[in-house]
Structure 1
Amino acid sequence: MHRNHRMVAGAKVLAALVSLVVVAVIGIAWHTYRSASAGITKSEALAGEPASTGSDQNILIMGLDSRRDQHGQPLPPDIYDALHAGNEDSADGDSDALIVVHLPAGGGPATAISIPRDDYVDLAGCPTSDCRGKIKEAYSYAYQRVMAGHGSAGSQPNPTVLQGQDATAKEQAAREAGRKAEISTVKSLLQIPIDHFIEVTLAGFFQLARVVEPITVCLSADTSDRYYSGADFHKGVQQISATQALAFVRQRRDPDDAAFTDLDRSRRQQAFIVSVVSAMRRGGTLSDPAKLHALLGVAKQNVAVDAGFDFDEFIRNALAFPNRPVTLYTLPVTGFGQLSNGAYVNFIDIPTIRSIVHNLVGADSSATPSTSSPTPAAQPDSGAQSTTGAVALDVVNASGRQGEAANVQMLLATGKFSEGKVSTADSTTETSTIAYGAGAKVAATELADQYDITATASDSVDRNTVRLTVGTDYSRFDQTRGFTPESSTTTAAAPVTTVPATGTGTQQPAVTNLSRMTADGIPCVK
């Protein structure tokens, strides 16, 4: 029972494993069977949204953690058995994989940017004015509100109408709300237009993987995770089945490697995408009418695209995709943390993320962040003024909640402050406070403004030091942790090191690095 529960939870990351390949397959299959394209779900989620200037295109691939097809129907029993992913009610509807694909005008090299699914951001489509969470949750929050009869963002709830809808119509209304919320959240974070989107459900990826198996992958070392994901692989190049691929892309733990993270799993997903592209090149899938017809059937049941998605226009890119140069990036984080509700999240520096993405999708398709020798141990500057970065942050826990001081310091001491002392107060206090020593007024004021706390000068605080006392109102830090509100857009971006996604040992990517993978071979990953 425990194993099945763990496998259900881990299977969420399967979404969008082969999204880039699906982009090609849909276009190619439609090119062969044009009359059948009407069966693919069309969405108005992008209606009225601004597009890119010129002929460049940004396509958002959303991998939906759903155990149902696009029409809300349960999957075939054999797929549930193969996925070890529970039944039709097991998933929470998160968009568990988000990849922005940039296709420059003129058929230049494509760029794919993976957004870590647990990045802590402002969510669009929430019922409250201040709503933050994991970026993947924007879809499920909006989806669940509609399913509960509360309407979607920007609309008036009409429970009577929703209750009168049939199951399929209600499912489509909920998914449409989810798409709008997820797309808006990604656009707000990255500050780029989204021209088109493709949404693929869990079953679509697995069925595509079954068509192109066996799939060749490569690992830099022996690894196993038999309890959670079922992974058990040896070092080097090996061929795996679609079922084995589930463990390959789900693994984020190894008893012998405590440094395994969710970003490593993202790089596994990218390696799998590259391997599937390679398999399609070798296996003739794109020229086999029977396989194309089967894949089009998969698309009808498991794929949605925006209503403006023009297959005639897109076919030129799709036909060339398997042979088109593709570079895949995984965006960095500043660190990991736990919220007061127990959720573990990634904290990010928004100005840095936007700078990276704007460079990657800029008018000059060759523009990429500067690459230098990897320095995994280094923490990047988070973008605050130098007067802030030179200040130590002491945190006193007066909340009565064990570990809260360490949590808050970890979130804030990422370049904006250096780590100071952590201590526990003799008694709890209701209200959080800030005191500062000589030379720390600017930093203290910035912190106080961020969290709506009064900053007071104090002779008892060391020079160039801010002392934050966390009270029982610690939940305020969940709302704005990491200095990531919209006001932070004026802060300078921090320098980020770009490293190969295939680095090993001391050269393996740190979570603060931007990792880069090319699709010109079988990548060997952690």
Structure 2
Amino acid sequence: MRSVRPAVVTGRTVVAVASVAVIGLSGYGWSLLSQAQAHLTTDNVIEHHTPPAAPATIQHQDGQDTNFLLVGIDSRTDVHGNPLPPDVLASLHAGPDDHFLNTDTLIVVHVPGDGGKASAISIPRDSYVDIAGGYGKHKINSAYSIGMNNHGGSQTEGRKTLIQTVEKFTGVTIDHYAEINLYGFDLISQALGGVPVCLNHAVDDSEYSGAVFPAGQQTLSGVQALQFVRQRHGLDNGDIDRERRQQAFLASAVHQLLSVGTLTSPSKLNDIITAMQNSIVLDQDWNLLQFAQQVQGISGGNITFDTIPIVNITYWTPADGDAVQVDPEQVQAFVADKFGDGPATPPTSTTDTPPSSPTGKAAADGSRKSPIIPDTTTNPPSITATGVTCVN
């Protein structure tokens, strides 16, 4: 096992994982995957156990259904622990390395054992949840750092704390773990020849993410692609809109990967395999050949992208500042429904919702809480990998 420092990512892991599936469709791809498996960076982070009891705990059918946790870490190094190229950091306005690792992207993907519909669900990084291990309630993106810092700086323990937190929050067992770095996404998006995206409005976020794009459809790769999925400043719903951006980008990338003729070139296959070897960390039990066999029959229309239900996108917390308020029971029912193991309608929440002021200013108790956002804003329709979806 090789355990290394992770690197920055914002929702790109699905692209790498989908690449595995498509590469596995050809005999040449099988050979490449066999070679790649021996050179991938892995970590022993999956503890095969039943997660804490939850109302909507999902049971695997005959042990074949699989749940993957796909993670992006806020760091300034590559998968081998080397600093990222200065020009890449500068173009992304990434800023200095503060050595505090947060998970900027969390996506749980369910792949059914019978070859049915796959479902990917995003968890906003600021979701205010119970951190596994008895560390209390904090933003979910801090679980990695909390676990790591309380175990002598061990990234393995940080990953385990994150996995256990996600299991407790969603009610599902995590079978596999994947983490990808910034530079790897740059390489993979270029290997694809760019990914088509569509914006409802022109954006100019030159001060923060560096994203400056016109309205309409366009094809992005490398640093521009990363700027597109990183932007949150200037968007009406901040991180929630960024989640939507990431989902639309990933759906479009998967559509390309699953399209006939996209990866028939040996040079493209080699480029993607090389990018994977240099950019992703997997759990040590992830067998890429078995994974490719499991998902090779899934079409773009059978992959959906969603975000968990949100109660309040600017919920004030005493220790963590503004966070995203969520209801675990509602989330567990939503995930169970999307993964095919629960009721179609989530139960009514039994969690008390703190009073909110109409303007988000100080409430009667002196705290600052924003108004609840309508479901149409925070819980938009699913995105499928059937083409290009226009987003804000």
Per the TM superposition, whether the score is higher than 0.5 is yes
Q: Give the Cα separation in 2 of the matches to 1:25 and 1:65.
A: 23
Q: Give the Cα separation in 2 of the matches to 1:318 and 1:201.
A: 24
Which of residues 198, 219, 235 is equivalent to 1:218? 198
Q: How does 1:30-429 map to 2 (within 5 A)?
A: 31-33=30-32, 34-50=34-50, 52-54=60-62, 55-86=64-95, 89-90=97-98, 92-125=100-133, 129-148=134-153, 174-254=154-234, 259-281=236-258, 284-320=261-297, 323=300, 325-335=302-312, 336-341=314-319, 343-363=321-341, 369=345, 382-383=349-350, 403=362, 405=364, 408=367, 410=369
- Cα deviation for residue 272 of structure 1 reads 0.8
Query: SS of the counterpart of 1:410?
Result: coil
Structure 2: 5+ residue stretches without partners: 1-5, 51-58
Q: Give the Cα separation in 2 of the matches to 1:218 and 1:514.
A: 17
| Aligned partners of 1:67 and 1:203 also within 8 Å | no
Q: Give the Cα separation in 2 of the matches to 1:84 and 1:409.
A: 30
- Cα deviation for residue 85 of structure 1 reads 2.3
- Cα deviation for residue 146 of structure 1 reads 3.9
- After TM superposition, the score normalised by the length of structure 1 is 0.62
Higher mean displacement: 28-37 or 355-364: 28-37
Change (3 A) 1:47 1:13: closer
- Render the CA deviation track for 1:183-207: whole Å, top value 9, x for unaligned: 0000000111112121222222222
- Cα deviation for residue 226 of structure 1 reads 2.9
One-letter amino acid of the structure 2 residue matched with residue 261 of structure 1: G
Which of residues 2, 11, 17 is equivalent to 1:17? 11
In the alignment, structure 1 residue 510 sits paired with structure 2 residue 387: no
| Aligned partners of 2:72 and 2:104 also within 8 Å | yes
Query: SS of the counterpart of 2:172?
Result: coil
| Aligned partners of 1:326 and 1:519 also within 8 Å | yes
Higher mean displacement: 331-340 or 315-324: 315-324
- Cα deviation for residue 212 of structure 1 reads 1.9
Q: Give the Cα separation in 1 of the matches to 2:303 and 2:325.
A: 28
Q: Give the Cα separation in 2 of the matches to 1:518 and 1:236.
A: 19
Q: Which has the larger radius of gyration?
A: 1
Change (3 A) 1:178 1:515: farther
One-letter amino acid of the structure 2 residue matched with residue 19 of structure 1: T
One-letter amino acid of the structure 2 residue matched with residue 296 of structure 1: I
Q: Give the Cα separation in 1 of the matches to 2:213 and 2:151.
A: 42
Change (3 A) 1:406 1:242: farther
- Cα deviation for residue 107 of structure 1 reads 0.9
| Aligned partners of 2:67 and 2:109 also within 8 Å | yes
| Aligned partners of 2:74 and 2:101 also within 8 Å | yes
Q: How does 1:399-478 map to 2 (within 5 A)?
A: 403=362, 405=364, 408=367, 410=369
Q: Give the Cα separation in 1 of the matches to 2:356 and 2:20.
A: 55
| Aligned partners of 1:189 and 1:350 also within 8 Å | yes
| Aligned partners of 2:72 and 2:180 also within 8 Å | yes
Q: Give the Cα separation in 2 of the matches to 1:228 and 1:304.
A: 27
Q: Give the Cα separation in 2 of the matches to 1:315 and 1:194.
A: 18
State, as a whole percentage, how many aligned pairs show the same letter: 33
- Render the CA deviation track for 1:124-169: whole Å, top value 9, x for unaligned: 24xxx44221111111222233455xxxxxxxxxxxxxxxxxxxxx
- Render the CA deviation track for 1:493-518: whole Å, top value 9, x for unaligned: xxx96xxxxxxxxxxx312x354112
- Structure 1 match to 2:54: none
Change (3 A) 1:111 1:92: same
| Aligned partners of 2:111 and 2:295 also within 8 Å | no
| Aligned partners of 1:271 and 1:523 also within 8 Å | yes
- After TM superposition, the score normalised by the length of structure 2 is 0.82
Residue correspondences, number? 368
In the alignment, structure 1 residue 522 sits paired with structure 2 residue 385: no
